[in-house]
Amino acid sequence: MLPLSRALADTRAALDSGGIDEADRCAAWLVEAATGTTRTDRIVRPDRPVSADEQARLAAMLARRLAGEPVQYVTGEAAFRRLTLAVGPGVLVPRPETEDLAEIALDELRRRAAPDASAARVLDAGTGSGCIALAVKDEHPAATVHALDVSEAALVVARANAHRLGLGVAFHRADLLAEALPEAVRQSGPFDVLVSNPPYIPDADAPTLAREVALHEPALALFSGPDALVFYRALARHAEALVRPGGLVALETDDAHAHAAAACFAPEVFSGVQVRADLYGRDRFLVARRR
Parent domain of 236 = 89-290
Same domain (yes/no): 117, 59: no
Distance CA 66, CA 57 (A): 14
146 in a domain, yes or no? yes
Asked if 209 and 252 sit in the same domain, the reply is yes
C-beta of residue 206 within 8 angstroms of C-beta of residue 263 = no
What Å distances lie between residue 42 and 21, 46, 51, CA to CA? Answer: 21, 5, 15
Average pLDDT over residues 171-188: 96
Residue 119 has pLDDT above 70, yes or no: yes
Q: What is the pLDDT of residue 118?
A: 59
Verify that 42 and 171 share a domain, yes or no.
no
CATH no. for residue 58? Answer: 1.10.8.10
State the pLDDT at residue 112.
Answer: 79
Total domain count, the chain? 2
Domain with 268 in it: what CATH number? 3.40.50.150
For residue 178, pLDDT over 80 is answered with: yes
Q: CB atoms < 10 A from the CB of 192, how many? A: 24
Q: Which candidate, 86, 82, 4, 78, places its Cα nearest to that of 40? A: 4
Cα gap 95→101, rounded to integer Å: 10
Report pLDDT digits (tens) over 31-59: 999 999 999 999 999 999 999 999 999 99
Q: Are residues 25 and 159 in the same domain?
A: no
Phi, psi of 201 (to 5 degrees): -95, 115
Q: Tell me if residue 251 falls in helix, strand or coil.
A: strand
